[in-house]
Amino acid sequence: MRLFLTLFFSFLVTFTHFVNALENVGVKTLEQAFATSSLVSDSDALTFGIADFELKYATGEDWGNEETLNFKKSIDILVLPYQWQLNDLEKNWSHAIDIRMFYIEVHRNSEPLQGFTNFEKERVLGGFLQYSQHYQWSENWYSGLSLGGHIMHYRNKYNYSDDFPVELIDILDGHIFNTSATVLMAEPVLKLGYQQVQSWGEWTLHNSNHYLIGQGVGGSAKNIHDVQPEGWRMTNGIEFKVSVPNLLGVSDHISFDFKRIDVGSDMSPVTGNGHYYETSVGWIIDTQNTIPFLDNIGIGFNINYGTTISGGTIVFYYNK
């Protein structure tokens, strides 16, 4: 009898630890999903486009391969950004309001247990509102300060195969699979930069520092109030804007942007070494307010190096 009780309590303790571990994994999965979505929905952090391609002549996994290309193609994303430029506070002191609506959907196969590969669909619907100020300290130096707020709703749907262990379904559902969550997040931003006008256009050294903190407020996730996404990112880069002769009667330029993005905490899953690089080249046309809610449009290409979506992308720009 004593042996039976010992074995029973040992099993109970082991099972409790297993459930607690699943709960922790579920919470962390949601936190990373929300933090990563803040990156994916911001074209200044990660760039998605209308067509993806593999850099076949570049060596090394960080340049991308068939796996990263397929994963990128499994992501459907729609982002609608807009900025309202407010009346200047002073001569060198401007401010603006930015909004962003987005929808992200990911289709992929998942293997929670060896030998059980099943289909999973994840969706994130979100909105972002930000108030920002920009101060021109001198002819070249500037800084910016912003405070933004996110509201996001995440939902995933997981189709278990017929032979999946029934005992695990009740444990996994609501923690990792077939769950949903809504969060509110704050994102303060500090920017610094140096700008130099040239005869051919201008170049800018730019730095941007973001911090993200949030709290789960609703959804079917069993531990929603433990969901507290947190992350940070720092972008350093240089951008060249080359003026284009005014042949078509429009104001346009060619943009070359080279940047490194460092990420931490819940944003880390996008890269294996804490940072990645993006290079983009694009032709941008200023609409000069002739089209409502469309400040500019353009087309170009982007190269991502060092993330789970590394590779090349053809990009269609709007309100960049």
Domains for the chain: give ranges and CATH numbers.
Answer: 2-318 (2.40.128)
What confidence score (pLDDT) does residue 133 get?
97
Cα 55 from Cα 202, distance rounded (Å): 30
Q: Are 97 and 86 in contact (CB under 8 A)?
A: yes
Cα 51 from Cα 316, distance rounded (Å): 10
The count of other CB atoms within 10 Å of the CB of residue 108 is 12
Using pLDDT thresholds of 50, 70 and 90, give the confidence band for residue 29. Answer: confident
Instruction: Kindly tell me if the per-residue pLDDT of 3 is higher than 50.
Output: no
- How much is the average pLDDT of 148-161? 89
Q: What is the per-residue pLDDT across 248-266, written as a single tens digit (0 to 9) for each?
A: 666 788 999 999 999 999 9
Using pLDDT thresholds of 50, 70 and 90, give the confidence band for residue 14. Answer: very low
Using pLDDT thresholds of 50, 70 and 90, give the confidence band for residue 59. Answer: low
Q: What residue type is 5 in one-letter code?
A: L
Cα 58 from Cα 55, distance rounded (Å): 6
Instruction: Kindly tell me if the per-residue pLDDT of 75 is higher than 50.
Output: yes
For residues 15 and 112, which has the higher predicted lDDT (pLDDT)? 112
Q: What is the per-residue pLDDT across 172-210, written as a single tens digit (0 to 9) for each?
A: 776 677 889 999 999 999 999 999 999 999 999 999 999
- Phi, psi (degrees; rounded to nearest 5) at 35: -65, -40
